[in-house]
A and B are shown apart, each in its own frame.
Chain A
C-alpha cells in the first residue's frame, strides 16, 4: 500500500484539471501531451 501511495504521489497532479484549465490553449495542449506521453510503458 505504501508503494502504491508513493506511486500516486509521484504523479504530482493535485488540482491538475484546474491547473490545465488556467493555461492558454496551446500551452495546455503541450502540457497534456507531455502527461500522456511521459511514460508509455508503465506496468
Chain B
C-alpha cells in the first residue's frame, strides 16, 4: 500500500512518499521526478563485490537526458578488479544496472540518489559468477522446484568501540543484554543506525544492546588497542531471500558509516575478546506459499519446516564454510557462550545449530490479557514462525551463505523426490554431532561431490538438483 502524506510516519520511505508508490512499483520516470524535485546532483550506484562489501560509483547528473540514460542503461565497470581471479582481465568489463525498487536518498550525502545494482555480462545476462546473481538463481530454483518462496532475515551483531567512553555508570561485564542508559552509552548511535536503515528499507525489526561489554582491549592492533566497547544488535524483518542479502550488506555499510561519523569503530568480527561474547549473524528463515507462512501447522512445526531443518543439518559443513570464513570464527563456536556447538535443533538449547524461537503459536491479541479495557482485536495477521540458523558470524559471505541456506532448506523437500523425512528432523537431538571444525569445512568445499551448493547452484543451475 503506497504511503500518502496523511498516513506517513517520520521514518516512511521518502521516495515512496514523494511518488505515492510502494518501492516495488518505482519506475525510471518516478526516479527522474525525485531527482528534479529534490534538486539532486548525482546518482550513486552500489553493488556487492567478491569481498562482500558495498561498493559505490558516483555519477554526476547535469541534465535529464544524462540521468535518464544512467537509469536506463547502467554503467560499465572493471569486473577484474571487483572479482579478482574470477573474471578474465582481457574481457573484464561488466555492466552495473540499477534495481529501481532499491532507490534511496543517501543519508550521508543529501545530493545523491542511490541505487543497488546487478551485474550483467557483455550479452546483457545476469553475470553467472556474481554472488548476488548466484543467490537469485538459487531462489528461483527453489520456487520452480517446490512452489515455495524462502524469506530470510539476519541478526547483525557488532561491537561499537569508543576510546572516549565515560567511566560513569559502568555496565556490568558481559551483562549488557537489553541494557538502557546511562549504563548503556551507545544507545543514541544505535538508534541513529536503526533509524536510517528503517527509513531506507522499511525492514528493521528492532535494535538493542547485546551481552558483550569490553573495557581496555589488549591488542597489537592500534585500531582497537585500549578501546572500550558495547555489543549491539540490529535485527531485520523477513524479506525475499534474494533481497535479504543485499539488505545485510547495506546495513553493514550504514552501521560502519554512522560509527565513523561519531569517531567510533563498528566491527562484526566473530570474536574481539578471548573470554567474552562473540558476534554472530544468526539467520532466520521462513518458507511461504501463496503469501502464507508454511512453518507451523497450528500444533507445532509443520512437515515443511522439519524438512527444511533436516536439509540445513545435512549441509552443516557447507553452510559453515560460507558463514564462518576466518579462523576466529571457531573461537566463537565454543561451549558456555550461548554459541552453537552441535548440529541439532532445539526450541530452548542455544548450543544447537538451529533454534526454533517462540512465534505466538495459538495465541492472539496478547495485549488484551494485560489491557482488559481493550475490546477490539487487531487486524488478523499471518503466522510468523521461523527457524534460526545460529552458526554464521560477521565473516560470512552473505550472498553465498543465503544461497547455501536456500539450497539446504530445499534439501529435504518432499516435492524433490524425498518421500521420507531426513533423519535429522525426526527428533531434535537425532543428529547431535559436533559442528565441523575448520578442516572438515575445507574438505567439503574442496570436494565437488560433497558440497550441496556446488552441485546445485554454483555450476550449472540444474545439473545435479536435488543435492546429493
Contacts and interface: CB of A to CB of B under 8 A. Distances in A.
Contact of A4 (B256, B269, B325, B328): B325
Nearest to A12: B327
Contacts of A32: 274, 331
A7 interface: yes
Nearest to B439: A14
Given A35-B328, A37-B219, A43-B52, A11 B445 contact: no
B100 interface: no
B454 A41 contact: no
Contacts of B221: 37-38, 40
Sort chain B's interface into a size bin.
35 or more
- B interface SS class: loop
- A interface SS class: helix
Interface stretch (B205-213, B235-243, B394-402): B394-402
A8 B206 CA distance: 33
B396 A43 contact: yes
Nearest to A13: B327
Interface in A27-42: 29-30, 32-42
Interface residues of A, number: 28
Contact of A1 (B270, B395, B451): B451
B53 interface: yes
A36 B274 contact: yes
B418 to A, nearest CB: 24
A26 to B, nearest CB: 11
B438 A14 contact: yes
Interface of A: 1, 3-9, 11, 13-17, 29-30, 32-43
5 contacts: A35-B331, A36-B331, A37-B219, A40-B267, A42-B52
Given A33-B219, A37-B272, A43-B395, 15 more contacts: A4-B322, A4-B445, A5-B442, A11-B327, A32-B331, A37-B221, A37-B223, A37-B224, A38-B326, A38-B327, A39-B269, A40-B223, A41-B256, A42-B326, A43-B325
